[in-house]
Structures are given as C-alpha cells and as structure tokens.
Amino acid sequence: MSSDIFLNDKQLKTLDKKLQSIIRKTGLDRKTQAEVFDKKTLLTIEKLISNRVLDIIDFPISTGKEGNVFRGVTTENKLVAVKIYRISTSTFKHITQYIFGDPRFKSIHKTRQNIIYAWTKKEFKNLERLNKIGVKAPKPIISYNNVLVMQYLGEKNKSAPMLKDVKIENPEEIYESLIGSIKKMYQKADLVHGDISEYNILYYRSKPYIIDLGQGVLNKHPNAQEFLKRDINNLVRYFKKYGIKANVEKIFDNIIK
Ligand SMILES: Nc1ncnc2c1ncn2[C@@H]1O[C@H](COP(=O)(O)OP(=O)(O)OP(=O)(O)O)[C@@H](O)[C@H]1O
Ligand SMILES: [Mg+2]
C-alpha cells in the first residue's frame, strides 16, 4: 500500500473523479471534504471498493473533529457505517495516554499516521471483544488504515439516535443493562470504555448499543480504574434525570472485585 501513495497529479485526479461517483453526497464543505478525503484516505477507500467490501458511500451521519461517520452500502447491498478518522487535522490531544498504555500497540512507530491507524484498529478490536461477550455494539466488519467499516445501526433512512436524544420509557431497565454491560466488559473482556456517556450510546430497536470504542483500554492500563469510575459516574449522572439513584463507589467496587 505504501508505494501506492506516490501518485502523480494526473493519477490522483482520475482517482478523485472515480471516487466522486462512489462517494455520492458527502454534504461536507470543500475544506472539510479535502481534509477527510485526503490522498491516503482516497486510496484506502479505493482499496475497500476494489476488494469488494464497499460499493457506495451514501451520506454523512456525523461530522466530528476527529472523524466522520458515513452511511455506506456493501457490494452485497448491506447497509454499513463507515468511520473515517482524519489523518491530517485530527486533534488527538490525549490520544497517547490511551495508546501507549496498551500492550497490544507496543511496537508502533509514533508517527501521526501510524497512531491514527493503530487507533482505528484498536476500535475494531474493541468492538470485536464486545461482540464476543454479547455486549450490544456495532459488529465490526473491517478496519483498514484510518477507515473502520461496521454494522450500521438505524433504519433505512435514519440512523439510530443517541441516548441523549430519546425519551426512554423503561429507564430502570436500560440503566441496569448498561451497568451490566460495563461490568461484563471489565470482567469478561478486560476492557474499559473510557468515554461512556449519553453521546456514545445509540438507542436502536429499544436497546442501548455502545459505540465509539477507539479510546477503550485494557483493564491492566494504568488509568483503567480511573476511566471506569468516570464511565460509571457518567451513567449515574445521566440516569438521575429519570429519578434513578445509585452509588458510584458501590457499583465500582462491585465491578472490580
Ligand atoms: N454503527 C453506527 N451506526 C449508525 N450510526 C453510527 C454508528 N457509529 C457511529 N454512528 C453515528 O456517528 C456519530 C459519531 O460516532 P462516534 O461517536 O463513534 O465518533 P466520534 O469519534 O465521537 O466522533 P466525534 O469526533 O464527533 O466525537 C454517532 O453519534 C452516531 O450518530
Ligand atoms: Mg462519540
């Protein structure tokens, strides 16, 4: 792949044009579009298309500072979510504390590009772990460089809402299920999410799905317990508005025991 990066202007133009028809409607302004779809990312997407993973990138679901999520369609006509981390302009201020405490990524060279590729792979692996132990999260399909393709959560024309944007009828049940999930993650997958909140939980077919696993760390990580407590705290804080009372310390002790 690395040698492919040296394209001349003409080759790049041709590739860009070809991808214009695949990336139907990015809905992004030109500057953002150029930032997200830089040369390497275009090549990565082309590879996913020529390897028959992706057929089309439909439209953006979310535009963030570090990454963009698009709806995509596979060659088998399945809907997928395509998360693209920005290589050039991402603001991964705290990224190192999540990557360098993780023995799975001990040997990466610390260039920005490699760190972002490792981050993408880490999200893929963490999603795999969650699915293996039966915690609801998008099923990962492939991670390649800075692009992660995963199960799309949502209906045909509307992606699943974040927990913060829905009014749930059975808060007690959803809360218990989420606490159960972070317990299971810690005890059965040795994993702490590290950024659990009503923003990183999607409400899909009446069930909470945990997303955004890039910063997830193994429970051996030096800050794992601190992150776990913060995750519990975020859930407890959020569910307070539904009248649910809980003791963060007690839950924490019960999980790490
Ligand atoms: N598998 C999925 N199916 C449907 N929508 C998704 C999926 N994954 C992510 N999204 C949508 O994209 C949004 C951003 O995803 P995610 O939280 O993983 O990225 P992020 O790193 O937080 O991005 P940001 O830079 O905006 O913080 C989610 O809130 C959700 O709306
Ligand atoms: Mg998020």
* Residue 230's CATH number: 1.10.510.10
For residue 104, how far is its CA from the centre of ligand 2 (angstroms)?
Answer: 22
Same domain, 193 and 99: no
For residue 8, how far is its CA from the centre of ligand 1 (angstroms)?
Answer: 34
Same domain, 179 and 87: no
Name the residue at shortest CA distance from atom 24 of ligand 1.
64
* 16: in domain: no
Residues sharing a CB contact under 8 Å with residue 255, sequence separation 6 or more, in sequence order: 182, 183, 186, 187, 228, 232
102 has catalytic annotation: no
Same domain, 146 and 178: no
Identify the burial level of 3 via C-beta atoms within 10 angstroms of its C-beta, where 0-12 means exposed, 13-18 middle and 19 or more buried: exposed
* 104: in domain: yes
Rounded alpha-carbon distances, angstroms, from residue 131 to 113, 125, 127, 250: 27, 10, 6, 27
pTM: 0.89
CB of 154 closer than 6 angstroms to any ligand 1 atom: yes
Report the pLDDT value the prediction gives residue 111, as an integer from 0 to 100. Answer: 77
For residue 252, how far is its CA from the centre of ligand 1 (angstroms)?
Answer: 27
Same domain, 40 and 103: yes
Same domain, 117 and 219: no
Of 155, 170, 202, which closes a domain? 155
How many domains does the chain divide into?
Answer: 2
Same domain, 120 and 39: yes
For residue 66, how far is its CA from the centre of ligand 2 (angstroms)?
Answer: 10
Of 112, 137, 155, which closes a domain? 155
Query: What are the φ/ψ torsions at residue 66 (nearest 5 degrees)?
Result: -100, -25
Name the residue at shortest CA distance from atom 22 of ligand 1.
212
Catalytic residue among 58, 102, 195, 253: 195
Same domain, 73 and 130: yes
Q: Tens digits of per-residue pLDDT, 178-208?
A: 999 999 999 999 999 999 999 999 999 999 9
190 has catalytic annotation: no
* 6: in domain: no
CB of 213 closer than 6 angstroms to any ligand 1 atom: no
CB of 211 closer than 6 angstroms to any ligand 1 atom: yes
* 252: in domain: yes
| Other CB atoms within 10 A of residue 139 CB | 13
Same domain, 209 and 149: no
Residue 2 has pLDDT above 50, yes or no: no
Residues sharing a CB contact under 8 Å with residue 102, sequence separation 6 or more, in sequence order: 122, 217, 218, 221
CATH number at residue 42: 3.30.200.20
Of 138, 155, 172, which closes a domain? 155
Q: Tens digits of per-residue pLDDT, 104-148?
A: 777 666 778 888 999 999 999 999 999 999 999 999 999 999 999
CB of 126 closer than 6 angstroms to any ligand 1 atom: no
Q: Which atom of ligand 1 is nearest to the CA of 85?
A: 21
Same domain, 137 and 29: yes
Same domain, 64 and 121: yes
Q: Tens digits of per-residue pLDDT, 88-106?
A: 765 555 666 676 667 777 7
Which residue range forms the structural domain that includes residue 244? 158-256
* 39: in domain: yes
Same domain, 82 and 126: yes
CB of 79 closer than 6 angstroms to any ligand 1 atom: no
